[in-house]
């Protein structure tokens, strides 16, 4: 185990510092320029805007907007707002890669919505802070608690101010769900700013997760100690030239290399990747992983060990300082009064059915608990499945439209 831990830390250190030391293992391979979310949106024939907003603690977050659909020519009409948030190791690109016919962002735009795509602190679009240098460990001293308690409220307030709206629809995938639960319970005043919240593959309670990377590292990183202290407060799998070239080579269109890329997909999505649009694997590799703080991953592992949904565990001494308690307090999910829609898959190791079954009795305004009928539906299928539009997106958009129609009747 110690040898395994040492290897993990060594790889993390090399990957995290690759850009800093100008490490270039493929010096004769030209560095490929990757489209930004805005450029990707425009290449698909939609108008795009780029916005930035600073959090109270100095992080500069970038958002991308599809203000209207060129198919509808509805730029001058009133359009309800939807805010879409990515998961761990991801970014706004994940809601665009499936193309204008099947990606959720475009489906919402074509249904007449004003679409906003967020980016959490630390990913490739939000790697700036006006007070702390990115190379300082304190830049990376955050988990998904800060994303829910600070980033989401900051972006929501910005969006509502720009659009002159009082509330919006929210969609989150994976960590985008976790951070929403943090916001709704820790910052309950924001519940009134949410019309509907559609949470895809929501990892909240995680005691029954079958995710091997979490279960396999729990003894090292699941409780405060040497392992977590060595790993915390640093970038984990950043988007840099070394990683991008490594994945780009691995996920090339060469059959033997593409098989390795599929193996990576299995590690992330689970054993069933038959639903994934595998032609997207090279594009996914271009934009992922987008970079996170190691604390985000540690916080999930802590959730598995504690079988609870609670704040970050810093150890007894710091817990007493931060929380006035030896053990981190649990989030009070009964404070989440937003209209919540939950969607989960039976082949999702991260958002397990047994763990999700604990949520309905805690959520006072649960509108839907939807189990995808396909027993092979996994974590990434909510983004990249061939049939994602018919299985998930149409349902999510229809519920949002029904809310608007019902509201307009009143």
**Best CA proximity match to 338, nearest among 105, 147, 152:** 152
Measure the CA–CA gap between 24 and 88, rounded to whole angstroms: 26
Residue 28 annotated among the catalytic residues of the structure: no
**Best CA proximity match to 117, nearest among 185, 52, 32:** 52
Residue 238 and residue 23 in contact, taking contact as beta carbons nearer than 8 Å: no
Give buried/exposed letters for 96-126 (b at 16+ CB in 10 A, else e): bbbebebbbbbbbbbbbbbbbbbbbbbbbbb
Residue 381 annotated among the catalytic residues of the structure: no
Residue 398 annotated among the catalytic residues of the structure: no
What are the tokens at 190? 């924001």
Measure the CA–CA gap between 218 and 264, rounded to whole angstroms: 21
Beta strand extents in 209-320 (DSSP E only): 235-236, 292-293
Looking at the DSSP assignment, which residues form a beta bridge with residue 63?
Answer: 51
Give me the catalytic one of 90, 92, 174, 303.
174
Give me the catalytic one of 44, 173, 299, 379.
379
In the three-class reduction of DSSP (H, G, I as helix; E, B as strand; rest coil), residue 22 is classed as: coil
Give me the catalytic one of 110, 348, 355, 381.
348
Q: Which active-site residues does the annotation give?
A: 174, 348, 379
């Amino acid at each position: 185990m110690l040898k395994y831990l040492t290897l993990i830390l060594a790889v993390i250190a090399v990957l995290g510092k690759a850009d800093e030391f100008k490490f270039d293992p493929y010096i004769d391979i030209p560095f490929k320029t990757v489209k930004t979310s805005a450029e990707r949106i425009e290449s698909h024939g939609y108008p795009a805007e780029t916005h930035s907003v600073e959090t109270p603690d100095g992080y500069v977050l970038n958002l991308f907007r599809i203000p209207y659909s060129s198919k509808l020519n509805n730029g001058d009409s009133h359009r309800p707002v939807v805010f879409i948030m990515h998961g761990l190791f991801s970014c706004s690109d994940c809601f665009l890669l499936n193309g204008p016919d099947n990606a959720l962002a475009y489906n919402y735009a074509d249904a007449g919505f004003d679409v906003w795509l967020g980016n959490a602190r630390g990913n490739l679009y939000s790697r700036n802070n006006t007070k702390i240098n990115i190379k300082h460990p304190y830049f990376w001293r955050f988990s998904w608690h800060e994303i829910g308690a600070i980033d989401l409220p900051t972006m929501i307030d910005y969006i509502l101010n720009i659009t002159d709206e009082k509330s919006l629809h929210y969609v989150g995938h994976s960590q985008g769900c976790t951070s929403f639960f943090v916001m709704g319970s820790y910052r309950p005043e924001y519940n009134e700013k949410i019309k509907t919240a559609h949470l895809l593959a929501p990892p909240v309670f995680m005691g029954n997760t079958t995710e091997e990377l979490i279960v396999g590292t729990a003894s090292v990183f699941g409780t405060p100690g040497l392992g977590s202290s060595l790993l915390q407060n640093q970038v984990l799998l950043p988007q840099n030239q070394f990683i991008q070239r490594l994945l780009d080579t691995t996920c090339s269109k060469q059959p033997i290399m593409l098989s390795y890329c599929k193996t990576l997909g299995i590690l992330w999505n689970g054993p069933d990747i038959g639903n994934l649009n595998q032609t997207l694997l090279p594009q996914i590799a271009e934009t992922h992983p987008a970079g996170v703080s190691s604390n985000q991953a540690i916080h999930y592992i802590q959730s598995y060990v504690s079988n609870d949904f609670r704040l970050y565990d810093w150890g007894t001494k710091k817990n007493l300082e931060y929380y006035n308690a030896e053990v981190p307090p649990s989030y009070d999910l009964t404070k989440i009064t937003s209209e919540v829609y939950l969607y989960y898959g039976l082949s999702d190791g991260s958002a397990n059915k047994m763990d999700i079954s604990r949520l309905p009795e805690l959520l006072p305004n649960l509108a839907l608990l939807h189990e995808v009928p396909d027993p092979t539906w996994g974590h990434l299928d909510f983004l990249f499945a061939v049939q994602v539009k018919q299985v998930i997106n149409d349902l999510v958009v229809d519920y949002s439209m029904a809310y608007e129609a019902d509201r307009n009747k009143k």
